């Protein structure tokens, strides 16, 4: 186990009810050990540490995404949600044989979506514990019935090829990490252009999580054109996320600096409020019944 990344306090205080729409918790490991061998060092990122990071950022709400080492067992995620007094929502992982009763219990506990992954490890293999897009096609009717969304992680070229069919499933789609464009190809890359065209027209959401797109930390200038293009295309369906605690990233980003960059790159206060507060409230159901 390694220490989780420390966040600095951002220069500008986020508005009340701001949301970090993409982060993770691990453990406590004495209660919630991983189910699968991890491809990275497990961080000390318990709900207690996560809450301290959110307090430093000034972000009162958060969305926790199931890490691959927990596979399709969301016990650690559910533990964090239970102790959050409604401040957190969750995105879990499930295979197509999950029961209706289990999905209903998860939904009632604050799990609002399922994650499907087509990204591969540096060796080209599927991350242990992840579930592919084929499972989404089978689970879509049940997600629709429960009002849950599908969170997708894939390379931009994979998204450009698969999104038209996935969008027809009638489930809101949330794309991780700005749809994982290739920074070297720029915003005119045909794959990214195709994603933006769909983003403008259908109920797709994009997470403005920049650190896994860029090769140029700590200011990530090669990611800004993609950020700006997403915000220009559909600001009412953009979400901001930190990706804390930054597994497989050396050096680890600073979540406070990432929030500062978001403010610099998004100068319109109304758009910032929409992305930080209104959009996650609408998608995830904060302040509502689920």
Q: Which residues are catalytic?
A: 243
CA-to-CA distance for 36 and 125, rounded, in angstroms? 14
Q: What are the helix (H) ranges across 176-254?
A: 190-201, 224-233
Q: Which strands form 204-208's sheet, in the order they lie side by side? A: 19-23, 61-65, 88-92, 111-117, 149-153, 173-175, 204-208, 238-240
* Bridge partners, residue 113, by sequence: 91, 149
In 3D space, the residue among 3, 2, 4 whose CA is nearest the CA of residue 244 turns out to be: 4
- Neighbouring C-beta atoms of residue 137, cutoff 10 Å: 15
CA-to-CA distance for 11 and 256, rounded, in angstroms? 8
- Neighbouring C-beta atoms of residue 242, cutoff 10 Å: 28
In 3D space, the residue among 1, 7, 107, 110 whose CA is nearest the CA of residue 54 turns out to be: 7
Contact assessment for residue 46 and residue 25, using Cβ atoms and an 8 Å cutoff: yes
Inter-axis angle of helices 224-233 and 255-265, to 10 degrees?
A: 60
């Amino acid at each position: 186990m390694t220490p989780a990344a420390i966040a600095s306090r951002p220069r500008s205080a986020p508005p009340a009810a701001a949301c970090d729409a993409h982060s993770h918790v691990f453990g406590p490991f004495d209660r919630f050990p991983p189910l699968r061998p991890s491809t990275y060092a497990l961080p000390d990122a318990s709900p207690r540490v996560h809450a301290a990071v959110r307090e430093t950022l000034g972000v009162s709400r958060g969305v926790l995404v199931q890490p691959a080492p927990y596979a399709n067992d969301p016990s650690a995620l559910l533990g964090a949600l239970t102790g959050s007094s409604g401040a957190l929502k969750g995105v879990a992982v499930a295979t197509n044989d999950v029961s209706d009763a289990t999905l209903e219990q998860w939904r009632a506990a604050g799990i609002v979506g399922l994650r499907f992954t087509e990204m591969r490890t540096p060796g080209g293999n599927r991350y242990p514990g992840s579930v592919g897009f084929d499972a989404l096609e089978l689970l879509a009717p049940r997600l629709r019935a429960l009002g849950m969304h599908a969170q997708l992680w894939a390379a931009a070229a994979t998204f450009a090829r698969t999104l038209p069919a996935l969008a027809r499933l009638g489930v809101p789609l949330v794309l991780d990490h700005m749809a994982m464009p290739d920074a070297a190809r720029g915003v005119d890359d045909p794959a990214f252009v195709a994603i933006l065209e769909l983003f403008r027209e259908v109920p797709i959401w994009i997470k403005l999580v920049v650190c896994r797109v860029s090769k140029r930390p700590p200011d990530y200038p090669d990611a800004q054109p993609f950020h700006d293009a997403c915000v220009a295309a559909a600001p009412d369906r953009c979400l901001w996320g930190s990706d804390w605690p930054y597994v497989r990233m050396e050096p680890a980003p600073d979540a406070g600096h990432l929030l500062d960059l978001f403010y610099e790159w998004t100068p319109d206060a109304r758009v910032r409020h929409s992305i930080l507060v209104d959009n996650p409230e609408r998608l995830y159901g904060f302040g509502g019944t689920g």
